[in-house]
Amino acid sequence: MRMKILVTGGAGFIGSNFIRYVLKKHPDYEIVNLDALTYAGNLDNLRDAEEQAGSGPVSRYRFIKGDIGDAALVSRILADGIEAIVNFAAESHVDRSIDNAGVFIRTNVLGTQVLLEAALRLRVQRFIQISTDEVYGSLGATGKFVETTPLSPNSPYSASKASADLLARSYFETFNLPVIITRCSNNYGPFQFPEKLIPLFITNALSDQSLPLYGDGLNVRDWIHVEDHCCAIDLVLRHGRAGEVYNIGGNCEMTNREITRTILQELGKPETLIRFVKDRPGHDRRYAIDCSKLCQELGWAQKYDFKTGMHNTVTWYLDNREWWARVKSGEYMEFYKRWYGDR
């Protein structure tokens, strides 16, 4: 069955991996990628996907530079036969939301509302809101997040994502817009912007720079390879039930210290590179996801174990030094100096 999908934020980490995944898996799908190309958006992430999709009028892929908050632009795009929206577009970095929250509200909350409204008016048949496990807040030593866990966001980033979830839910309840929300745990893999823990520490270690570990380094995250996340979203898009929430997780709880040691071992670098720094304010202690609903209802299963996934990821950063050296510059380095300078 052919489908024409609007992917927003498709030039970022997960969005670009999703576009590559869908173009390969579904030869009859068409994708329009709407992305504002913020510091995190990079068309280099999609060069191979563009080639795969062909060029000219027969191409199954089209890029449009623009903001999801631009109602007129979004309506024009949807009017051109879009059947489904997968909304990845967001400000995604917790530390930046502590540094400056305004743009998180503009994109993650107001931008999502613009998309929902346009989807309603133009009768889009499927709206997948890509959310995060961070909306649930922090866990103690035991237990896992389930889809009915109350929302308790602790950072401006997670508060903006929780707000978007509530808006998405309201468009289903009030207007019957076929919305589905996915909440995934921490992703890793190729093309992740090197501000996030794993690519930051890989690229710093490759440059023999220190690895700034927050607090005691014992915060726990549940890691999933980005391709497994993309596979889950594809299943939700095709078979998920409207109005539902689906958790997505990696069954892989690790402390930040364990992650750091894995990276240093993979690269043969010394532990003396680790620098314990002042903690992130409001730092959630532990995340763990129960994704049995996704497995039982939609038949999702993970392909990557953490060891293989991390080995492939470290190798990817070793092989793509040019890619990360280019993005680890300019505005990002100004943020880096400001954020880590006094820690």
Does 132 contact ligand DAU by CB under 6 A? yes
- 32, 36, 68, 200: residue in contact with ligand DAU (rule CB under 6 A): 200
CA distance 18 to 87: 11
- Minimal distance in Å, beta carbon 10 to ligand NAD? 7
* All residues at 6 or more sequence positions from 338 whose CB lies less than 8 Å from its CB, including other chains: 99
Question: Is 266 marked active-site?
Answer: no
Question: Is 195 marked active-site?
Answer: no
- 221, 229, 269, 286: residue in contact with ligand DAU (rule CB under 6 A): 221
Strands (E), 89-178: 126-132
Backbone angles phi, psi at 253, to 5 degrees: -80, 130
* All residues at 6 or more sequence positions from 247 whose CB lies less than 8 Å from its CB, including other chains: 133, 145, 146, 147, 182, 183, 184, 289, 290, 291, 293, 294
Does 41 contact ligand NAD by CB under 6 A? yes
Binding letters toward ligand NAD, positions 62-81, x by CB under 6 A: -----xxx------------
> Whose Cβ is closer to ligand NAD: residue 168's or residue 269's?
168
Task: Name residue 180's beta-bridge partners.
Answer: 128
Size (the chain), residues: 343
Q: Where in 161-220 is the site for ligand NAD (CB under 6 A)?
A: 161, 184, 186-187, 193
Q: Is 28 helix (H, G, I), strand (E, B) or coil?
A: coil
Q: Where in 82-111 is the site for ligand DAU (CB under 6 A)?
A: 92-94
Backbone angles phi, psi at 183, to 5 degrees: -125, 105
Does 15 contact ligand NAD by CB under 6 A? yes
Catalytic residue among 133, 234, 253, 266: 133
- Minimal distance in Å, beta carbon 113 to ligand NAD? 12
Residue 193, classified by CB atoms within 10 Å of its CB into exposed (0-12), middle (13-18) or buried (19+), is buried
Q: Which stretch binds ligand NAD (CB under 6 A): 85-93, 145-153, 165-173, 259-267?
A: 85-93
Q: How many residues bind ligand NAD (CB under 6 A)?
A: 30
Do the Cβ atoms of 192 and 222 come closer than 8 Å? no
Catalytic residue among 30, 35, 67, 134: 134
Catalytically active residues are 133-134, 157
